[in-house]
Structure 1
Amino acid sequence: MLNRVALLATACMLFSMGAAPVALADPPPPDPAVAPVGDPGPLPDNGIVGSSEPGVVTTPDGWTLTVAATNESELPVAPLTTALSSREYLVGGTFTGTVTGKGKTTLTGGTLEAGYQIGCGIELGQVRLIGQAGINVGVGLNTAGGSLNGVGLGSVSFPLSGTIEIHPKPGTVSTVAVDKKTFKAAPVRVTLKDTHVKVDGCVGQSFLRSYATLTSSTTDTDDVVAYYGITKSV
């Protein structure tokens, strides 16, 4: 009987040891190089802007004028004057003009002008200081020894008071022509790189866009077509 109980206990121990689950290894720690990070927020402005569709016109005498822009950049920068009412931008781009077709007149050349238009929401107008100045004199009585011995000058002060009066004006648009190229035969090109444009007296939101104007001339005519870039607000 005892042998049978011992045999049963040994069998149960062997079954328990064989059925014990194998412990899994702990997962490896996450790699810091690939660890997820939080939202980094908006990327800094790199100044790159898109370009609008080219400006195209067909003249009455059969010529096709096209003015376009590529590789444009407009980056707002701190003005050298450090004035809060100044707006300054670092700009660039390539502006091209072509004259194609089989017109009935003889072309004599033309011009390609490239620049920028800066719109100011509110323009700083007249600033005045309205103030008042006065004089206050204090008089003292000399009563040494219990009797009136004379009248003396106590104190003198010069009070100042005033307010600053600002007269803002409605917003204006300033046109800054950067380059104007005269040509005898198209195509014609103007390339700008890291060019500073600036406007003063702007206390509201500002807007910037490029422009290019192509003028094609004959002996008796001028034909003009313009390009306007995408407006960027700052």
Structure 2
Amino acid sequence: MNRFAAVAAACMTLTFAAATPLALADPPVDPAADPGPPPDNGVVASAEPGVVTSPDGWTLTVVAKDETQLPVAPLTTAVSSREYLVGGTFTGTVTGSGKTSLNGGTLEAGYQIGCGIELGQVRLIGQAGVNVGGLSFPATGPVFAPALSFPLSGTIEIHPKPGTVSTVTVDKKTFKAAPVRVTLKDTHIKVDGCVGQSFIRSYATLTSSTTDTDDIVAYYGVTKSV
């Protein structure tokens, strides 16, 4: 009986040891295996075209493609300046069988830059004074030793204002007959006085003219936060 119990205990011990998983150490992490997010190349998606049909029967379309918006360090190195390197192709067309004669029009392309907080008034408040002293009363009698001091103090007051939207027109093309196109490549635009987060988007406005009318359609690109 004791021999049977010893054999059974040995079998149970062997089975338990075989079922125990082996503890393996985590493999070392290679820093080169995780390069992180890729750098911003400035490429942005274009929004849907702007389309309108005039009461005269003309269809105006303005579209953009190959847009880029890359934030760069301002040449002034001022922390309140925002500068971007932008590009894109903006095209306007006028199609259809209108009842009036077209006299051409314009295609304007540019960018709108929104600033979360705008730098308002900055004031420097200072005070200066002159102190004269040095009179003492020792046991031998009063003694006057001239002493001068010039205390200075100052404070800086900054008054931020709610953010604003700045419109930067890059080009305005006049045409006699559509289609009309404006292409931008590596164009610098900037705004000053911005101390908060900034936002940028492209825009293009197509104007088609007749003798007595102007029809306008606008395109607004995808907003990019910086």
Q: CA deviation at 1:148?
A: 4.3
Residue of structure 1 in register with 2:191 after alignment? 199
Q: CA deviation at 1:140?
A: 4.4
Question: Take 2:32 and 2:79, find their aligned partners in 1: how far apart are those partners?
Answer: 36
Residue of structure 2 in register with 1:151 after alignment? 144
Unaligned stretches of 5+ residues in structure 2: 1-29
Q: Runs of 4+ in structure 1 displaced over 6 angstroms? A: none
The one of 79, 98, 104 equivalent to 1:109 is 104
Contact residue 142 and residue 152 of structure 1 kept, 8 A = no
Question: Take 2:112 and 2:42, find their aligned partners in 1: how far apart are those partners?
Answer: 16
Unaligned stretches of 5+ residues in structure 1: 1-34
- The TM-score normalised by the length of structure 1 is 0.80
Alpha-carbon deviations, 1:129-156, whole Å to 9, x = none? 122222222314597xx84485231x21
- CA-atom RMSD in angstroms: 1.8
Residue of structure 1 in register with 2:13 after alignment? none
Residue of structure 1 in register with 2:152 after alignment? 160
Contact residue 77 and residue 89 of structure 1 kept, 8 A = yes
SS of aligned partner of 1:97: strand
Based on CA coordinates, which of the two structures has the bigger radius of gyration? 1
- Identity, in percent, stands at 81
User: Match for 1:109: what amino acid?
Assistant: G
Q: CA deviation at 1:38?
A: 2.6
SS of aligned partner of 1:185: coil
1:131 maps to 2:123: no
1:87 maps to 2:79: no
Residue of structure 2 in register with 1:41 after alignment? 36
Question: Take 2:38 and 2:132, find their aligned partners in 1: how far apart are those partners?
Answer: 63
Question: Take 2:140 and 2:37, find their aligned partners in 1: how far apart are those partners?
Answer: 81
Residue of structure 1 in register with 2:62 after alignment? 67
Question: Take 1:37 and 1:210, find their aligned partners in 2: how far apart are those partners?
Answer: 37
Number of positions where the alignment pairs a residue of Structure 1 with one of Structure 2? 197
The one of 148, 153, 163 equivalent to 1:171 is 163
Alpha-carbon deviations, 1:162-186, whole Å to 9, x = none? 2211111111000000000000000
- In structure 2, the CA distance between the partners of 1:168 and 1:97, relative to structure 1 (3 Å rule), is same
User: Match for 2:102: what amino acid?
Assistant: L
- The TM-score normalised by the length of structure 2 is 0.83
Residue of structure 2 in register with 1:20 after alignment? none
Question: Take 1:138 and 1:84, find their aligned partners in 2: how far apart are those partners?
Answer: 45
Alpha-carbon deviations, 1:79-132, whole Å to 9, x = none? 011111000000000000000000000000000000000000000000111222
User: Match for 2:153: what amino acid?
Assistant: S
Contact residue 105 and residue 208 of structure 2 kept, 8 A = yes
